[in-house]
Structure formats: C-alpha cells, structure tokens
C-alpha cells in the first residue's frame, strides 16, 4: 500500500500532542471543574431553598445550561460578548463557559444527592441541636458526597472530552495542537486518531481513579 | 449514667407539662388538644392505634414538629406557648431539654459509633472533645458496646444500633428521654436487649416518654399509661389500671386486639 502509516510522523507528533494535553486540556479541565463544582453547590442550595426567588433563579439557570449546546455557550462568551464591550481572552472564555456548563449539570447531581439522604438524618441532626446549616455540613453533605461521586465522575470525564471544543475559540490544547500538525503535514487521519487515542488514555486513567474512589467511599455505606 | 440535669424541682413534681397541644397537617387535625403531665423520674407510656398521633406528640416535644397551639412547660424555668409566634432561640432551648430515640435508629452512617455519640456534645454543645469522648465511652460501656466504639452503624445489629441511639440521646444530657417505638423495627430476638437498657434507665430515675406497642413492657416499666385515639387522650392513669381494667370501650378494644396479636 502506497500510503501506509507514517510512523515517523506518529513518533514526532506524539510529544507535542501529549504536551498540550498536559498544559492545555488537563489544566483547562481541572480549573473548569473546580469552579463548576463551587457554582454547582451554590445553585443546588438555591434550588433547594424555600425562598422562591432563589429556587426560581436556580431552576432557570439549570434549564438554560442544559437546554443549549455547549458550543453555542462558548461562542456567545467568546465571539458574542465583545459586541457589548466584554472582551475575554480564549482561556478565560473557555474556563468561564465550561464552569458555567459544569455548574448546571453538577447542580442537579448535587441536589439529587442531597435529596437522597433520608429525612431521618435531618431529624437526628436537629434532635442533637444542629441548625440546618450545621446539619448540612456535618451530616447531609458527607452522605450526599458519596452518592454523587459516580455521576460527578461522569461529568468530569465528559468535560475532558468537551474541552476539545475550546480549540474553536483558539485555545491551544490537545486537539488544536493536533489540528495544527495535521494542517501542516496533511496527515489528517493519523493526527486525529492520535488525538483520539490520547483522549481515550486520559479517560481510561480517570475511570480507574473513579473506581478506586468509589471503592473507598463504599466501605462505610451499608447495602 | 445518672441524671445530670440542673433543674432543682423536687422528685415527683411535674417536670413536663403539656396543655392544649394542637397540630394539623393541612386540614387533617392530628392532635386536638392534648394534655399531658410527666413527673420527674416518671415513665409515661403513650399507646394507641396507628395514626392516633403518638409520634406527633413526641416530635412536638422535641420540636421536630412545631405545634399550632398549646403550651409546653419543662421544669420551672421554661414555658413555650405555641399559640403565639415563638422565637427560634426559645425553640432551641425547648429542644435541648429532651432527646429522642428513633424507631429506625437514624444513626449517622458515615460516622463511627463513638463519633455518632460525641457529635452533638462537641459540635453543638461545644464541650471539650476529650471530655465528651470519655463520657461517651462510659455510656457505651453501660450498654455493653465498648468493643463497638470504632464500628460503623452498618456493621451493627439492629439491637446494637438502637443501643447506640439511646447512648447518643443520653450524651445530650436531656431532662426527658423520648422513645418512639424503639423496638418495633427489631427482630424479635433483639427486642430484649433494648428493653433491658430502657428498664435500667427507668430504674436509675430517668424521666421518659415512651411510645410503644409492647403492652407487657409498658405495664412493667411505665408509671402511667396514656391511651390516645384520633388525636385526643382517651384515658390515662396507672399502667395496671389503664391496661388491666380500661374504662373506655376504645381502650378495651385496643388492649384486647394487641393481646390477641401476641
Ligand atoms: N408530616 C406529615 N404530613 C402530613 N401528615 C402527617 C405528617 N406526619 C404525620 N401525619 C399524619 O398524622 C397522623 C398521626 O401520625 P402519627 O405518626 O403521629 O401517628 P402514630 O400514632 O405515631 O401512628 P403509628 O402507630 O402508625 O406510628 C397520621 O394520620 C399521619 O398520616
Ligand atoms: Mg408513630
């Protein structure tokens, strides 16, 4: 076959791609996920609040985030906001868009996890004199955390892959680096498969980590 | 495990007085003017058919439910009138006077036995941790659970979990202990160990309100039995009298039914 795999290209392009996984994809994912979780916690509590305005705002937020494509959210922030004078660099735009997105999805996970803790746990906490706040922190959230680890891990793994969209707003990360090399070498199949493999390996590591974490947390829960 | 309350009311004087307690859920009037007096050191058993409002009475005493009206008085220094808006601080002090043992234990599953017991004293009452741990270990020893201090609730039998539930309540140093059918979720062979602990507490002079379907046990430990039906107290008096020679048809029917069941 005339056009066999160019192994030399695979060898020379692997490090640049892995490098941009490490200095692009990974930090983008971590920063967005961390900020997203903080936001998600706030939104989950707002959703659960007895204050109608708060729960309404929380619900609207979740609805908008889940009802619109991530790519569109990204474009609104990076290409849209400059029209009203808000000009953000690619990285901050990407982190904002991804955290807002994670915030919407994770909020529902956290809310469901909090609601899954039996009512008797709140009552026992109140019985020993705890306020709602203290009960949430000491009794409810630790139990909700265990329940929410599997779905949050899934959100995290999705985010790793979704960060490839940032290449479209000029963030140089794993996929954009692969695109650049592909454009230069015209070896599209090789480079894109290579990028796919790197994503896959990243996610493989993450799912191993997820199982380990779940195993640890399972130790303390019955049934 | 002696009583540690600071109230100086004489033994035998009313410690807990409930007057005209009312509670409705929507249009459903669950408590229609309940009166109840519990003297210091007394064990009062609340009995009655399902849905008669027994749990709601206990939950009101521990402010897990806020009554619509009525007065709850504990000791000589705390009176809460629910027919007016009650400040949060007052609700909190009322709650502090009692501690509840739940039907389904409701232990904190992510904490060890010892952590379950010291959680309230340390996090809420702000007692020094060492001191709280020492007291917890002493209480656990009294119910025969010293070797389980580092276990998690799911590693315990129902009877052991309920004994931890009792110790958790004791560690709050309440003036009144509230038990809501403490043995009804247990396998029959585990009922005895929990009733044994409650019997000891009563011998030690703890003041208790006990909701139970174990009429034999009520007869044995309770000084007074209160029979409720449809949100009212139908009959109350010494255990032997109410359970032995009930005056009202409804009480008679209830006692006969329960006796047939066992
Ligand atoms: N939070 C609530 N909301 C609505 N109805 C309630 C609530 N709690 C209790 N009820 C109703 O109040 C009535 C009395 O309930 P309660 O639990 O006090 O009865 P009980 O005497 O303890 O019965 P059981 O022997 O079955 O435990 C029941 O009809 C119950 O359905
Ligand atoms: Mg009940």
Q: A101 with A73: CB under 8 angstroms?
A: yes
pLDDT for the residue A134? 97
d(CA B112, CA A118): 18
Three-class SS state of B240: helix
The closest ligand to the CA of B60 turns out to be 1
Question: How far is Cα B42 from Cα B224, in angstroms, rounded to an integer?
Answer: 8
Q: What is the pTM of this model?
A: 0.89
A1 domain residue, yes or no: no
Please report whether residue A112 resides in a domain. Answer: yes
Mutate to test the interface with A, among B105, B108, B156, B160 (most CBs of A within 10 A): B108
Residue A34 pLDDT more than 60? yes
DSSP state of B9: P
Domain-located, residue A48 = yes
Q: In angstroms, rounded to a whole number, what is the distance separating the alpha carbons of residues B252 and B244? A: 9
Cβ of B30 less than 6 Å from ligand 1: yes
**Does residue A115 fall inside a structural domain?**
yes
Q: What confidence score (pLDDT) does residue A1 get?
A: 46
Q: What is the DSSP letter of B64?
A: S
φ, ψ for residue B132, nearest 5 deg: -65, -40
What residue has token string 């009995």? Answer: B47
Q: What is the pLDDT of residue A215?
A: 82
B53-90 residue pLDDT tens: 999 999 999 999 999 999 999 999 999 999 999 999 99
DSSP string, B120-153: IIIIIS---HHHHHHHHHHHHHHTT-GGGTT--G
pLDDT for position A207: 92
**pLDDT for position B262:** 52
Nearest CA to B253 among B84, B48, B99? B48
In a domain, A198, yes or no: yes
How much is the pLDDT for B1?
46
pLDDT tens per residue, range B87-145? 999 999 999 999 999 999 999 999 999 999 999 999 999 999 999 999 999 999 999 99
Residue that is written with structure tokens 């953000």 in the block: A88
Query: Which of these, B198, B184, B223, lies nearest to B44 by C-alpha position?
Result: B223
Q: pLDDT class for B236, splitting at 50, 70, 90?
A: very high
- Give the pLDDT band of residue A154 (cuts 50, 70, 90): very high
> Residue A115: CA atoms inside 13 Å, Cβ hemisphere, count?
11
Please, what is the Cα angle at B209 between B207 and B212, to 5 degrees?
140
Q: B125 vs A129: CB contact, 8 Å cut-off?
A: yes
How far does chain B reach from its first CA to its final CA, in angstroms? 33
Nearest to B221 by CA among B237, B202, B206: B202
Instruction: Spell out where chain B has E strands.
Output: 14-25, 28-39, 43-47, 69-74, 78-81, 98-101, 176-180, 207-211, 224-229, 232-238
Residue A205: pLDDT band with limits 50, 70, 90: very high
- Residue A66 has a CB neighbour count (10 Å cut-off) of 12
Nearest to B124 among A129, A146, A220 (CB): A129
What is the per-residue pLDDT for B227?
96
> Would the pLDDT of A6 be above 90?
no
pLDDT (mean) for A82-99: 96
What mean pLDDT do residues A25-50 have? 97
Contact B207, B16 (CB under 8 A): yes
A117 within a domain of the structure (yes/no): yes
Burial of residue B244 (number of CB atoms within 10 Å: 0-12, 13-18, 19+): exposed
Q: Confidence class of residue B40 from pLDDT cuts 50, 70 and 90?
A: very high
Q: pLDDT class for A219, splitting at 50, 70, 90?
A: low
Q: How far apart are CA B188 and CA B197, in angstroms?
A: 16
- For the residues A156-166, what does the mean pLDDT come to? 97
pLDDT at site A4: 76
Q: How far apart are CA A135 and CA A157, in angstroms?
A: 31
**Region for B126 from its dihedrals, namely left if φ exceeds 0, alpha if ψ lies in -120 to 50, beta otherwise:** left
Q: Report, as an integer, the average pLDDT of A20-43.
A: 97
Give the residue from chain B lying closest to A124, CA to CA: B106
- The answer to whether the complex's ipTM is over 0.90 is yes
Q: Average per-residue pLDDT in chain B?
A: 93
Round the average pLDDT of chain A to a whole number and report it: 93
E strand or H helix at A178: helix A174-185
**Helix (H, G, I), strand (E, B), or coil: what is residue A186?**
coil
Judging contacts by C-beta atoms under 8 Å, the chain B residues touching residue A142 are: 110
Q: Do B110 and A146 touch (CB under 8 A)?
A: yes
The ligand that comes nearest to the alpha carbon of residue B29 is 1
Give backbone dihedrals phi and psi of A216, rounded to 5 degrees, phi first.
Answer: -60, -45
Let me know: does A124 contact B107? Beta carbons within 8 Å: yes
Mutation pick for ligand 1 pocket among B21, B26, B30 (CB with most ligand atoms within 8 Å): B30
Q: Are B219 and B192 in contact (CB under 8 A)?
A: no
pLDDT score, position B155:
95
Q: Structurally, how many domains does chain A consist of?
A: 1
Q: Which residue has the higher pLDDT, A1 or B212?
A: B212
Give pLDDT, residue B9: 43
Indicate whether A194 belongs to any domain.
yes
pLDDT confidence of residue B258: 83
Task: Please judge whether B106 and A129 are an interchain contact, meaning their C-beta atoms are less than 8 angstroms apart.
Answer: no
Percentage of chain B exceeding pLDDT 90:
87
What's A51's DSSP letter?
-
Domain ranges, residue A11: 7-220
Report the pLDDT averaged over residues A49-75.
96
Q: A3: pLDDT confidence band, cut at 50, 70 and 90?
A: low
Q: Residue A155 domain-assigned?
A: yes
Query: In this predicted structure, what is the pLDDT of residue B257?
Result: 85
Q: Indicate the length of chain A as a whole number.
A: 223
Q: What is the CA radius of gyration of chain B?
A: 18
Q: With a CB-CB cutoff of 8 Å, which residues 89-128 of chain A face chain B?
A: 118, 120-121, 123-128
Contact flag A128-B109 (C-beta cutoff 8 Å): no
Number of the ligand 1 atom closest to the C-alpha atom of B65: 1
Q: CA-to-CA distance for A9 and A14, rounded, in angstroms?
A: 8
Residue B174: name the closest of B1, B12, B46, B9 by CA.
B1
SS (H, E, C) B37-62: EEECCCEEEEECCCCCCHHHHHHHHC
Local confidence band at A159 (pLDDT 50, 70, 90 cut-offs) = very high
B27 lines ligand 1 (CB under 6 A): no
The answer to whether residue A33 scores a pLDDT higher than 50 is yes
The percent of residues in chain B predicted with pLDDT above 70, rounded, is 95
Does residue B7 have a pLDDT over 90? no
In the structure, what pLDDT confidence band is assigned to residue A218 with cuts at 50, 70 and 90?
confident
In chain B, which residues have their Cβ closer than 8 Å to the Cβ of A223?
154
CATH value at residue A19: 1.10.3720.10
Q: How confident is residue A37, by pLDDT bands cut at 50, 70 and 90?
A: very high
């Amino acid at each position: 076959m005339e056009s066999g795999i160019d192994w030399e290209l695979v060898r020379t392009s692997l490090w640049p791609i892995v490098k941009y996984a490490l200095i692009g994809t990974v930090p983008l994912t971590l920063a967005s996920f961390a900020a997203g979780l903080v936001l998600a916690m706030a939104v989950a509590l707002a959703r659960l609040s007895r204050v109608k305005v708060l729960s309404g705002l929380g619900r609207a937020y979740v609805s908008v985030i889940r009802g619109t494509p991530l790519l569109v959210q990204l474009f609104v922030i990076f290409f849209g906001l400059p029209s009203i004078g808000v000009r953000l660099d690619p990285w901050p735009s990407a982190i904002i868009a991804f955290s807002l997105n994670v915030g919407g999805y994770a909020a529902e996970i956290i809310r469901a996890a909090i609601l899954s803790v039996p009512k008797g746990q709140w009552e026992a906490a109140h019985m020993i004199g705890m306020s709602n706040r203290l009960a949430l922190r000491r009794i409810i959230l630790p139990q909700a955390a265990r329940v929410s680890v599997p779905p949050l891990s899934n959100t995290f793994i999705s985010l790793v892959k979704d960060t490839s969209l940032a290449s479209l707003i000029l963030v140089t990360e794993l996929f954009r680096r692969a695109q650049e090399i592909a454009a230069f070498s015209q070896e599209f199949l090789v480079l894109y498969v290579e990028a796919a493999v790197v994503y896959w390996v990243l996610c493989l590591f993450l799912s191993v980590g997820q199982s380990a974490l779940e195993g640890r947390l399972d130790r303390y829960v019955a049934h | 495990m002696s009583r540690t309350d600071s109230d100086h009311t004489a033994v035998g004087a009313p410690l807990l007085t409930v007057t005209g307690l009312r509670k409705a859920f929507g249009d459903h009037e669950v408590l229609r003017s309940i009166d109840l007096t519990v003297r210091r050191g007394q064990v009062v058993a609340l009995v009655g058919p399902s849905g008669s409002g027994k749990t709601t009475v206990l939950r009101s005493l521990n402010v897990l439910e806020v009554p619509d009206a009525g007065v709850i008085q504990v000791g000589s220094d705390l009176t809460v009138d629910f027919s007016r808006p009650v400040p949060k601080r007052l609700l909190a002090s009322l709650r502090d006077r009692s501690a509840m043992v739940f039907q389904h234990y409701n232990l904190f599953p992510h904490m060890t036995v010892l952590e379950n017991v010291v959680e309230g004293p340390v996090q809420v009452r702000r007692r020094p941790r060492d001191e709280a741990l020492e007291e917890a270990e002493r209480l656990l020893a009294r119910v025969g659970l010293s070797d389980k201090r580092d276990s998690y609730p799911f590693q315990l039998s129902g009877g052991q979990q309920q004994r931890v539930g009792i110790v958790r309540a004791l560690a709050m140093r309440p003036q009144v202990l509230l038990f809501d059918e403490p043995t009804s979720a247990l396998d029959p062979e585990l009922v005895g160990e929990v009733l044994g602990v409650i019997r000891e507490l009563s011998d030690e002079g703890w003041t208790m309100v006990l909701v139970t379907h174990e009429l034999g046990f009520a007869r044995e430990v309770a000084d007074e039995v209160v029979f409720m039906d449809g949100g009212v107290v139908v009959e109350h008096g010494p255990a032997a009298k109410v359970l032995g020679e009930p005056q009202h048809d409804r009480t008679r029917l209830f006692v006969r039914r329960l006796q047939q069941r066992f």
